[in-house]
Copies of this chain bind each other. A is one copy, B any other.
Amino acid sequence: MTVPPEHALLALDVVGIFVFAISGGLVGIRARLDLFGIAVLAWVTGLGGGIIRDVFLGDVPPVGISNPWYAATVLAAGVVVVLLLPRLRELRRRNPDVRLGYITRLVKYLDAVGLAVFAVSGAAKAVELGAPPLACVFVGGITAVGGGALRDVLVGQVPEVLRREVYAVPAVLGAVLVVVADAFDVLGLPVLVLAAVSVFVVRVAAITLDLNVPTPRQTGANP
């Protein structure tokens, strides 16, 4: 079994943590939290998925709370968010009708990046720790959607993963790619990157085309 190198997983995690932490910070701003609330939400969003992954895989304490690089990444994301504030204000003064929608869209794209890298890193770490294939797929999916789901629940929103959009599916597909690649013994950095890019492309396509899966709305409204 070709095991993806530690540093490949670390790199993927750092990218995912960074973008998810920023998305968490932006949601915190939108929710009118104070700076510490924003910091906590950024931390939960950035590290939540990986922490759930490690707990499910029995790799405790989770690297999310023990690896200084991860904490540093969240801090860096926090700085970026604070630096973004004036620009968001500026943007809004120029274009009043942007409003909250701007953050919402930005968060969607940041989530797409985090979704992609965490789905892959989650599945790859599960493979590395010798979890059964099905578990690897589930762990990849949970790692990808976990942080965002925690973020949304904490601010009282129904998580993105439950809302009307193709969200969990690309994550699961990315995890499946990793597991299949491992089965064919070709799991390495190239495959990891390829899988992550695939997830990202599918997710962004879903956002831009506003691609939605069928909804039993009529029925849902009635019974």
Contacts A65-B139, A135-B65, A163-B33 given; does A219 touch B60 at CB 8 Å: no
Q: Which chain B positions have C-beta within 8 A of A216?
A: 29, 35, 38, 85
Interface SS of A by simple majority: helix
B126 near A61 (CB under 8 angstroms)?
Answer: yes
Which B residue's beta carbon lies closest to that of A101?
Answer: B223
Cα–Cα, bound, A121→B135 (Å): 21
A223 near B65 (CB under 8 angstroms)?
Answer: no
Contact of A89 among B34, B40, B61, B218 (CB under 8 A): B218
Cα–Cα, bound, A167→B34 (Å): 11
Q: Of A110-118, A152-160, A184-192, which stretch is located at the interface?
A: A152-160
Contacts A153-B153, A158-B156, A217-B32 given; does A163 touch B62 at CB 8 Å: no
Which B residue's beta carbon lies closest to that of A88?
Answer: B223
Q: Which chain B positions have C-beta within 8 A of A98?
A: 223
A135 near B61 (CB under 8 angstroms)?
Answer: yes
> What is the count of identical protomers in the complex?
3
A37 near B153 (CB under 8 angstroms)?
Answer: no
Cα–Cα, bound, A55→B58 (Å): 8
Which B residue's beta carbon lies closest to that of A65?
Answer: B138
B213 near A35 (CB under 8 angstroms)?
Answer: yes
Cα–Cα, bound, A60→B142 (Å): 15
Contacts A55-B60, A158-B155 given; does A223 touch B37 at CB 8 Å: no
Q: Which chain B positions have C-beta within 8 A of A75?
A: none
Interface centre among A138, A159, A161, A216 (most CB of B within 10 A): A216
Contacts A99-B223, A153-B153 given; does A36 touch B126 at CB 8 Å: no
User: Which are the 10 A-B pairs with shortest beta-carbon distances?
Assistant: A88-B223, A65-B138, A66-B135, A37-B162, A58-B60, A34-B215, A61-B135, A92-B222, A29-B220, A34-B164
A selection of 10 A-B contacts at a CB cut-off of 8 Å is A29-B223, A32-B217, A33-B163, A34-B212, A36-B166, A56-B65, A65-B135, A65-B139, A89-B222, A100-B223
